A and B are shown apart, each in its own frame.
Chain A
Amino acid sequence: DQQVKQNSPSLSVQEGRISILNCDYTNSMFDYFLWYKKYPAEGPTFLISISSIKDKNEDGRFTVFLNKSAKHLSLHIVPSQPGDSAVYFCAASIKAAGNKLTFGGGTRVLVKP
């Protein structure tokens, strides 16, 4: 029973265009959400996060949107660059329960030059 799901295992996008990655969750107690980026043979690196009190957070080319009623978050990358080719994981946590992360299965993004 996966509480955090990324239903698109892969995504291909042209350089300069927008990449949109989606993530759905089932546990309404989650109150903090993160996106991690992972290159092959490396550990995940933190990209951007959002608290449940917000519906949008932006950091440079990366924007995360949270729709609590739909239990859905998305990551927008604009414009996409070849260096963005990686696997992206969304993760969720409950602050009052020790902030342990529950991860989605990941989406592999390929940005074509």
Chain B
Amino acid sequence: NAGVTQTPKFQVLKTGQSMTLQCAQDMNHNSMYWYRQDPGMGLRLIYYSASEGTTDKGEVPNGYNVSRLNKREFSLRLESAAPSQTSVYFCATSWDISNQPQHFGDGTRLSIL
């Protein structure tokens, strides 16, 4: 009964280091999303995957890459971390791209020094 699982929960990086955030879902949903949450700004969409094998940019994609490894897993990669990427990252899923609501994981808190 896990739903959407994100790993790790916390991470501290130095500027320039790389990192991959993992997201796995057991809801058999087709669409998956990555958001970042910054104070006072709500959640902003970074990338999404409408279905296995497809990915598209969201509102704030710069500095990130994604991989939809299979139906269950959608990873977010920071190739060269910058302090501006300090944030809480949330993965979400939905049955498909035309359906709501989206279901969220508990987030990864990432600090970049």
Residue B97 lies at the interface, judged by CB distance under 8 Å to chain A:
yes
Contact across chains for A43 and B100 when beta carbons are under 8 A apart? no
Sort chain A's interface into a size bin. Answer: 20 to 34
Determine the main DSSP class of B at the interface with A: loop
Residue B74 lies at the interface, judged by CB distance under 8 Å to chain A:
no
- Residue in A36, A42, A44, A91 with the greatest tally of chain B CB atoms within 10 Å: A44
Residue numbers in B under 8 Å from A103 (CB-CB): 35, 42-44
Contact across chains for B42 and A89 when beta carbons are under 8 A apart? yes
Residue A14 lies at the interface, judged by CB distance under 8 Å to chain B:
no
The chain B residues found within 8 Å of chain A, CB to CB, are: 4, 33, 35, 40-45, 48, 50, 58-59, 90, 92, 94, 97-107
Chain A to chain B contacts (Cβ below 8 Å), 20 pairs: A2-B41, A9-B40, A41-B107, A43-B4, A45-B104, A46-B100, A49-B100, A98-B98, A99-B94, A99-B97, A99-B98, A101-B45, A101-B102, A102-B45, A103-B43, A103-B44, A105-B40, A105-B42, A106-B40, A106-B42
